[in-house]
Structure 1
Amino acid sequence: MSIESFNSELEFDASRVKTKVIIETSFSKEIRILLSKGQIMKEHKTPFPILIHILEGEIMLGVNGTIHNMRSGEIIALDGNVPHDLTAKENSIVRLSLSKHDKVERLKDVLES
C-alpha cells in the first residue's frame, strides 16, 4: 500500500510542461502533468486506453479534431490510438492514468519533440 499526493511539490514551469509519476500500481501508472497557462502538448496517441482527469485549472482537449473545454473535476476516457492534444487555458494540474503496459518514456518523447 502506498499513499501519495497529486498536490505536493507543485512547481509550474513556464518554459516546459512538467510530468511526474505519482504512483504505479499492478494495473496503472498515475501521472501528474503540470501545464502553465498557454502550454501545449502537441497531438499524439497512445497504444492503450487512457483517462485524463482535470484536477485543477482548465484545458482545451483536442480529440480527433474536436475541441473539448475541460474544467476542474472533469474526466474523459480515450481508447488507444485516438489522436489528442492539450492546451492549458490557465495553470492546470492533470491526472493521466496509463495502462501498466504503456511506457512513461513515450510521454516524455511527446514533450521533447
Structure 2
Amino acid sequence: MAIAHAVSGDVVDLRAPSSPDRTVALFKAPDLEAMRLILAAGKTMPEHSVPGSLTVQCLKGRIELVLPDRSPVLEAGQFAYLGGGVPHALRALEDSDVLVTLVIVQAA
C-alpha cells in the first residue's frame, strides 16, 4: 500500500510513532523533498551524496554525521546543513528519529 505524501498546507505530526529502520517520504515537490528516517542504535545509512543542499535534523536520539573531514554528533534538537555534492553517511548512536530535507536540483 502506498504511503500518502503531504500536500501543500498539510500538517505532519513528526511525533507519531514509526517502525524502526524505516524511511518515510513525507513529501516530494519539484524543488524540495523531506523524509523521516527511523534508525535503531548501531544502524547506518551508507555513504552517498546528492546534488542539492540538504539539512539533517535529529529529532530524537543521537546520530553521527560522517563527513570526509570530521564526524559531528547530533543530539535531539540539533541540525546540520550540507552543501550539494558533499559525501556523507549517518550512524545511529542510539535509537534515533531524523528529519532530512533535500533541495532538488533540476537537470539542465
| TM-score normalized with structure 1 length | 0.78
How big is the alpha-carbon RMSD for the aligned residues of Structure 1 and Structure 2?
1.7
Task: Return the offset for 1:24.
Answer: 3.6
Contact (CA 8 Å) 1:52, 1:97: kept in 2 or not?
A: yes
Question: Is residue 2 from structure 1 mapped to residue 25 from structure 2 by the alignment?
Answer: no
**Unaligned residue ranges in structure 1 (runs of 5+):** 103-113
Give how far 1:22 is off.
1.5
> Which of the two has greater helix per residue?
1
Which residue, 35, 51, 57 being the options, matches 2:55?
51
**Equivalent pair of 1:6/1:22 in contact (CA under 8 Å):** no
Cα shift at 1:71: 0.4
Whether the 8 Å CA contact 2:52–2:104 is kept in 1: the answer is no
Deviation at 1:67, TM superposition (A): 1.0
- CA deviation string 1:7-43 (max 9, x = no partner): 224221xxxx311112345642111000000001111
Q: Percent identity?
A: 24
TM-score (norm 2): 0.82
| TM superposition shift of 1:73 | 0.6
CA distance 1:38–1:97, shift in 2 (3 Å): same
Instruction: Indicate if the aligned counterparts of 1:38 and 1:89 stay in contact, CA closer than 8 A.
Output: yes
Query: How many pairs were matched up?
Result: 98
